[in-house]
């Protein structure tokens, strides 16, 4: 087993780093303060191939694997995690769901637009009263002839307002039945499909989060993704891959916070020497570096399994849980190393600290990851 990154991986990482420095870094705090979702940046990311990373070239994508995907998310997230989150959600959730379970006509119709960011994608599973308990959803899809009529609402949806298309999981059978849900693609502008409340969040503020509302929204059966009743099972498979992207997001946050703390510790003079020379600080940095290294290995092992088409549910849950918890700890220690300055918006660790917490919640909480891991190790 080799640990060297391929030439392609290194080139992709360098490209993503350059993109983040040029198009993201100058505007980080403006977007954060105003909760601006910078659509034009994602259009540019589409031109760079970052919005269709896993999509085959014949469908307009980059045709890359999960190791390169991790590199892109990580480099963007080291600069602004909220932009990294949106790139991850677009790729792993909406686009990947259609790519994995759509038919050829659906792929030609939608993936070609999503891969270039001509369209921005959203993905709707969570509801107000069903977060971890997604199987208890209330949004329904009732078949009427050759159409389906959707009623209900989805909550905490990335790109819920700006998305041009949403993959939505709705109940087509009994509540709680894992075979009682079906996936549909709903285009923006469809009568009865609107956006609701935009969330005012602690962190990830440049990544738009809002409601999707369905009021007698009629769509053709041609918009159904896969078989009737397969929606929940499809979603769990999509989330397996999605957890790798949250692991990558977590790595980016942890590395960004660590690098800022390391730099500050060498520059901050107290009692006549840099604070990095004090054991209390150097031990913090040692622990941070070690845990980041471990998280990186776990996330890339999950990517290796995914690329190889091997079972990876347990590994994706492990890597997502560990990397997300590490990024919260590293961000916390980075603020501590900065002292009072870490609590101000003049230094980047304040934002990493706020952004980090989402990683232990989104795409399955740490507690849900433990449920998934336990099921797999107790089989």
Rounded CA-CA distance 239/317 in Å is: 9
Report the sign of the C-alpha dihedral through residues 332, 338, 344, 345, in that order. Answer: negative
Contact 51, 45 (CB under 8 A): yes
The answer to whether residue 187 is catalytic is no
Chain centroid to Cα 315, Å, comes to 17
CA atoms within 13 A on the CB side of 248: 31
Strands 147-158 vs 140-144: parallel, antiparallel or unpaired: antiparallel
Give start and end residues of each alpha helix (H) in the chain: 7-23, 28-34, 39-47, 66-79, 81-89, 96-101, 104-106, 112-114, 231-267, 279-307, 313-338, 349-356, 366-377
Strands 140-144 vs 181-187: parallel, antiparallel or unpaired: unpaired
Rounded CA-CA distance 190/209 in Å is: 20
Rounded CA-CA distance 254/332 in Å is: 10
Of the listed 58, 259, 363, 367, which one is catalytic? 363
Distances (CA, A) of 362 to 84, 133, 242, 249: 13, 14, 10, 11
Q: Minimal CA–CA distance to 16: which of 60, 64, 57, 59?
A: 64
Q: Give, in degrees to the nearest 5, the angle at Cα 179 between 178 and 180.
A: 90
Annotated catalytic residues are 363
């Amino acid at each position: 087993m080799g640990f060297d990154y391929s030439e392609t991986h290194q080139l992709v990482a360098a490209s993503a780093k350059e993109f983040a420095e040029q198009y993201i870094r100058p505007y980080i705090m403006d977007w954060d303060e105003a909760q601006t979702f910078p659509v034009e940046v994602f259009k540019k990311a589409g031109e760079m191939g970052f919005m269709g990373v896993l999509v085959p070239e014949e469908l307009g994508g980059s045709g890359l694997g999960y190791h390169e995907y991790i590199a892109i998310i990580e480099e963007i997230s080291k600069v602004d995690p909220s932009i990294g989150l949106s790139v991850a959600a677009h790729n792993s959730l909406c686009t990947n769901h259609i790519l994995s379970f759509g038919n050829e006509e659906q792929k030609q119709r939608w993936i070609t637009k999503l891969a270039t960011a001509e369209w921005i994608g959203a993905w709707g599973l969570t509801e107000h009263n069903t977060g971890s308990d997604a199987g208890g959803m209330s949004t329904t899809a009732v078949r009427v002839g050759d159409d389906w009529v959707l009623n209900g609402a989805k909550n905490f949806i990335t790109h819920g307002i700006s998305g041009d298309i949403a993959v939505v999981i709705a109940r087509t059978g009994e509540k709680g039945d894992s075979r009682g849900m079906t996936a549909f693609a709903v285009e923006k502008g469809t009568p009865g499909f609107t956006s609701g409340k935009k969330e005012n969040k602690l962190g990830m503020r440049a990544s738009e989060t809002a409601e999707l509302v369905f009021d007698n929204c009629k769509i053709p059966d041609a918009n159904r993704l896969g078989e009737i009743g397969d929606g929940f099972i499809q979603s769990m498979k999509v989330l397996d891959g999605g957890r790798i992207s949250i692991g990558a997001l977590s790595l980016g946050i942890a590395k960004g916070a660590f690098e800022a703390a390391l730099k500050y510790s060498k520059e901050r003079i107290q009692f006549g020497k840099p604070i990095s020379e004090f054991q209390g600080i150097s031990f913090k940095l040692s622990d941070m570096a070690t845990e980041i290294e471990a998280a990186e290995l776990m996330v890339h092992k999950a990517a290796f399994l995914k690329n190889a088409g091997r079972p990876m549910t347990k590994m994706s849950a492990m890597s997502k849980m560990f990397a997300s918890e590490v990024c919260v700890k590293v961000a916390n220690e980075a603020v501590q190393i900065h002292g009072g300055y870490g609590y101000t918006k003049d230094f980047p660790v304040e934002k990493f600290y706020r952004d980090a917490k989402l990683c232990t919640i989104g795409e399955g909480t740490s507690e849900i990851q433990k449920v998934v891991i336990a099921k797999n190790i107790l089989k």
